[in-house]
Amino acid sequence: MTTTLAAPDLARARRWLVAAVVLYSVTHHLGFALAPLGAVGHTRWADWIDVLTPYAVLLTAAAALRAAGADRRAWTLYLVGAITYTEGHGIHLAANSVYNVYPNPTAHLWDETVGHYIWYAGTALVFAALATAFARTPPPRTPLHLPLSLAVAITWTTNSIEGTTGLMGIAIAAAFTVWGWRTRHHLGRVLLPAFAPALVVLTAYGAWYRGFPQPSEMGWI
């Protein structure tokens, strides 16, 4: 983004950005967090609530882009990312719900492999759109952004490991870490604590286990 935002516009844009980050960090853990709610018929309550995830994440991200005066490049990234995100999430949600009732290789493929790769690729594109739109806005004046950035780091790490997308998770975390370093004099510096820890943890996890076994399969959760 090349335009300079007035203080009220910048504050509004940042509020929407915070909302998008919070909702991403929360909704991407719904399956685990809401599992104790149990079943409703042949489905789970968590599945029904998870239907709201694309609305929560994508609408707040779009509001942040609009408030930030995003240019055509950022909106193009967002459009492609939003479509990819929605398709991947839908594939994952449907296949996972079926697998919970009738475990089979086809449902597992669409849930754990196809769905997750498409969903998280879409997530990365939406993040890229936001990073592009906010690239030249002033950096945070206080360290209050750190908990939000670390929430993104935790979410990206847990999603990549439990979602069996470890190598893609490392590659994307590395790219955003570099991006954050190059834009560290602006708001882009929030990308460093959001993705550098994820890069370190994912790399160490993959090296230790010589792969990316799911914590759920190892009995951790």
4 pLDDT band (50/70/90 cuts)? low
**149 CB burial (10 A radius; 0-12, 13-18, 19+):** buried
Whether 32 and 67 map to the same domain: the answer is: yes
Average pLDDT over residues 138-167: 93
Overall average pLDDT of the 99-123 stretch: 96
* 153 shares its domain with 172: yes
Q: Which of residues 111, 137, 163 is at a domain's end?
A: 137
Instruction: Please tell me whether residues 93 and 168 are part of one structural domain.
Output: no
Residues 106 and 156 in one domain: no
Same domain, 20 and 116: yes
* Same domain flag for 169 and 121: no
Q: Exposed e or buried b for every residue in 110-148, given b needs 16+ CB within 10 A?
A: bbbbebbbbbbbbbbbbbbbbbbbbbbbeeeeeeebeeb
Residue 2 has pLDDT above 60, yes or no: no
β-strand pairing of 39-40 with 43-44: antiparallel
Same domain, 126 and 71: yes
> Are residues 178 and 111 part of one domain?
no
Tens digits of residue pLDDT in 74-83: 999 999 999 9
Point out the domain boundary residue: 115, 137, 159.
137
Asked if residues 166 and 160 have their Cβ atoms less than 8 Å apart, the reply is yes
> What total number of domains does the chain contain?
2
Do both 97 and 151 map to the same domain?
no
Across-strand partners of 40? 43
Q: What percent of the chain has pLDDT over 90?
A: 84
Do residue 148 and residue 133 come from a single domain? no
Using alpha carbons, select from 119, 91, 118, 121 the residue that is nearest to residue 106: 91
pLDDT bracket for residue 1 (50, 70, 90): very low
Number of neighbours of residue 6 by Cβ within 10 angstroms: 8
Same domain? 131 vs 155? no
* Full residue range of the structural domain in which residue 166 is found: 144-221
Q: Are residues 1 and 84 in the same domain?
A: yes
Q: What is the pLDDT of residues 51-69, one digit of tens each?
A: 999 999 999 999 999 999 9
Cα(117)–Cα(70) distance, integer angstroms: 27
Mean pLDDT for the chain overall: 93
